[in-house]
Amino acid sequence: MKRNKVEICGVNTSQLPVLTNVQMRELFARLQSGELSAREQLVNGNLRLVLSVIQRFNNRGEYVDDLFQVGCIGLMKAIDNFDLGQNVRFSTYAVPMIVGEIRRYLRDNNPIRVSRSLRDIAYKALQVRDALTTRHLREPTIMEIAKEMDVPKEEVVFALDAIQDPVSMFEPIYHDGGDPIYVMDQIHDDKELDASWVEGIALREAMHKLNDREKKILSMRFYEGKTQMEVADEIGISQAQVSRLEKAAIQRMHKHIQS
């Protein structure tokens, strides 16, 4: 079957080579013996890995070409630092480094201003994270990063949170072919909700029109402030079902109040 031609940075992605694990090990052995041409073959043979990683960042509004180039920098760093003696696949080692490089690029181009001190702590934490990932071949915990930096865990968390890109409350995070589930559906609210939800004869009458399961879902969601996932676990249905039942119940209540 012929692949569709898609060009990124002048590269025809349909013609990118795919290396087997045996070929990868042979190329790394040649590279570590000083054969620099093997490095170019390793880069070209892993560009599909970069393409798969940048799919995660498609909703950031960045040019795909820019993300691809930055991802290639992460790929080359991974190639230069990969230890053939470790019992781990190259893709397992390379993906965190590619992701980290792209995150650094997005952070540096973030229009939201963050204090210099917070940025310094966050940058240091990310450098330590990359070093620990290389050392242990896994993503380190916040506690491990904080211990390595000799700073309180809370300070590291606060600094890293400060440089994160904002996310829309209405950004869909799951879709099963029906109604999408949005970020706002996952937020737990411990505060008392607007009094208009618990007061008013019209609202109470509308609630009486719902069946027991719908009443329970709305009560847990809007009176107790639970997330859809928490409601789904307690009732014993899927989160997608909770989302659909919740929306249908609210729509019926609106129709009753407006009639």
Axis crossing angle, helix 153-162 with helix 142-149, rounded to the nearest 10: 110
Question: Hey, is 218 helix, strand or coil?
Answer: helix
- The answer to whether residue 132 scores a pLDDT higher than 60 is yes
Predicted local distance difference test score (pLDDT) of residue 199:
44
Residues in the chain: 259
100 vs 98: CA distance, rounded Å: 5
* pLDDT band per the 50, 70, 90 thresholds, residue 155: confident
Predicted local distance difference test score (pLDDT) of residue 198:
41
Domains 110-166 and 172-258 are alike in CATH topology: yes
Predicted local distance difference test score (pLDDT) of residue 148:
93
Percent of the chain with pLDDT over 70: 72
Predicted local distance difference test score (pLDDT) of residue 259:
60
* pLDDT band per the 50, 70, 90 thresholds, residue 150: very high
Interval 102-126: pLDDT, tens: 888 887 776 555 567 777 888 888 8
CATH code reported for the domain at 110-166? 1.10.10.10
Q: What is the pTM of this model?
A: 0.43
| Least confident among 90-99, 169-178, 245-254 | 169-178
Task: Say how far residue 51 (Cα) sits from the centre of its chain.
Answer: 16
109 contacts: CB under 8 Å, gap ≥ 6:
62
CATH code reported for the domain at 172-258? 1.10.10.10
- The answer to whether residue 197 scores a pLDDT higher than 90 is no
**Taking the domains of the chain in order of start, what are their residue ranges?**
1-109, 110-166, 172-258
Interval 11-67: pLDDT, tens: 566 667 778 888 888 988 898 888 888 888 998 888 888 888 888 777 666 778 888
165 vs 106: CA distance, rounded Å: 8
* pLDDT band per the 50, 70, 90 thresholds, residue 201: low
CATH entry 1.20.120.1810 includes domain 1-109: yes
What phi-psi label fits residue 157: left (phi over 0), alpha (psi between -120 and 50 degrees) or beta?
alpha
* pLDDT band per the 50, 70, 90 thresholds, residue 194: very low
Show contacts of 143-152: CB within 8 Å, 24+ apart: 149/121, 149/124, 149/125, 151/121
